[in-house]
Amino acid sequence: MLKANKRGDTKFVPVEPEIPIINKPQDGVKEASNLVTIPTRTTVTDFDRIPKQYLLQYNEGSEWPVDFYHALSGRNDPKTMFDTQNDSPTQQLLKIVNLSLRVNAPLDRTQDEQRKTFELTGTSTLVASITPNEGDFFVAPIGDHRHGLFNITAVTRMSNNKIATYQIRYTMLYEITPQIAETIRLCTVRTLHYVRERAWTGGDTLLTPNEYRTFLELGDRIKDIETTFVRRFYDTSLETLAYPRDWKLDGLKAGGYYDVFLAMFVKAIGLRTVGKDIRIYPHPPKPVQDIETLFTVLLNQQPGLLPYVEKECSAVNPRTFRTMQTRNTIAWSQFSSTRFFTSQIRQLATYDGEWPEFEAFEPVMFPEYQGNAGEDMVAFLPLTYKPYLLSETFYSGSYSSVLEHCLYLYLNKQPVPSEVAARLAELVLALPKDSQFYYVPMVYVILKYAR
């Protein structure tokens, strides 16, 4: 701004613009300028969480599996009772099949003396699967091949923990008729299956129909391995697992091929058959349990140990271990060769053993596998003993096949896709028998983890 005086002294004087008056912002109120003030948060948040498996373990009562129906409604919708005569879209239900209730007392039966009608009421505990509301209901058997519709009349949260139990009170309203069953079916827009066992592993207990079918398929695959693996590879005369050999070439002569580390691994993961106990042959002087191998990492889920475990495995004649006159060791067994890690052999005299080559097989690819950035990836690599069984890439902390990727996810405690595990269980049975000898126990671990 130009400022002039009478004496002729003229100069420019800066003028500050007038500061506009702005209304004082209010907490949590949106202003006209599209600016929102942040309200002060003073609530103390508790991040501790009680796992679901603890709630399942310490809840009293008998288990009562029911088909639970949860009303899908908006936040401001009023709580209403299910109308069995109305199948309009205003009544939308979420069905949970075989939801488990814990019942401490039988149903209470009361009779109206004037009308001579009965009323069935009861209380149960619902464990950490869904938050029930008044107006939800469940269908359960009431005897004589009949089913009743029980409406929830009261819900009480039993603790302030993030994962809590709920005590519910319910009253039987109707006996299920074909008309009522059809109305419930038409109003059901989504179905989930409750799987109690998954809570013990920290998984989601509510599965979609596709996930539930995969869950059942994994269970069938696990059962098949548990009932067949030991029986297929068990040598009755040697009382342990023996590497498969070609009887046409070897004939019925005594001998066999032994891998004590696989035998210990199979026994540790629970693959056993009644009457076929897996015998572990010592390899003196060092206890085989103290040698850290790939199987040690898989059993303990210790991926950081992979670069330091033993990897160079050779075929050794059992005479190498005749250092002490001790019975029941590999040295005096009927095996013709055994697998052992070269760096762990402490004997002065070492006798090399013979071992058949792995039978070659045609690799099967997983098309557009997500674990390989959407590119094709081989399901199983050919087995080797140097490095021991899996690739050098896996020992370095990465993977080169779908099996190794699943093991990588398992070791790092990340979820393994159920459909991938089921596909591996299908493909492993098409491999040669010597490859199945090593790969099937690994697939078994993946199946148990993915399920």
Least confident of 24-33, 180-189, 403-412: 24-33
Residue 149 in 3-state DSSP? strand
Q: What is the pLDDT of residue 25?
A: 55
Taking only Cα atoms into account, the Rg of the chain, rounded to an integer number of angstroms, comes to: 34
- Count CB atoms within 10 A of the CB of residue 433: 14
Question: The tokens 């098409």 sit on which residue?
Answer: 430
Tally the C-alpha atoms within 13 A of residue 8's C-alpha that lie toward its C-beta: 0
**Cβ pair 447, 225 in contact under 8 A:** yes
For residues 323-348, give the mean pLDDT: 83
For residues 406-417, give the mean pLDDT: 92
Q: What is the pLDDT of residue 22?
A: 52
Buried-state track 382-415, b at ≥16 Cβ within 10 A, e below 16: ebebebbbbbeebbeeebbbbbbbbbbbbbeeee
Q: What is the pLDDT of residue 327?
A: 73
**If you count them, how many residues does the chain have?**
451
Between residues 138 and 54, which one has the greater pLDDT? Answer: 138
Q: What are phi and psi of 352, to 5 degrees?
A: -70, 145
Distance, in Å, from the CA atom of 429 to the CA atom of 417, rounded to the nearest integer, reads: 19
Strand partners of residue 137:
69, 151
**Burial (0-12, 13-18, 19+ Cβ within 10 Å), 1:** exposed
**pLDDT of 243 higher than 90:** yes
Find the helix packing angle between 433-450 and 260-268, rounded to 10°: 30
Handedness of CA 419, 272, 266, 339 (dihedral sign): negative
- CA 176 centroid distance within chain: 36
DSSP at 78: P
Distance, in Å, from the CA atom of 73 to the CA atom of 217, rounded to the nearest integer, reads: 34
Q: What is the pLDDT of residue 279?
A: 92
H-run or E-run covering 448: helix 433-450
- CA 233 centroid distance within chain: 28
Identity at 46, one-letter amino acid code: D
In this prediction, residue 77 has a pLDDT band, given cuts at 50, 70 and 90, of confident
**pLDDT of 441 higher than 60:** yes
In this prediction, residue 46 has a pLDDT band, given cuts at 50, 70 and 90, of very low
115: left (phi over 0), alpha (psi -120 to 50) or beta: alpha
DSSP at 329: S
Q: What is the pLDDT of residue 109?
A: 81
**pLDDT of 163 higher than 90:** no
**pLDDT of 261 higher than 60:** yes
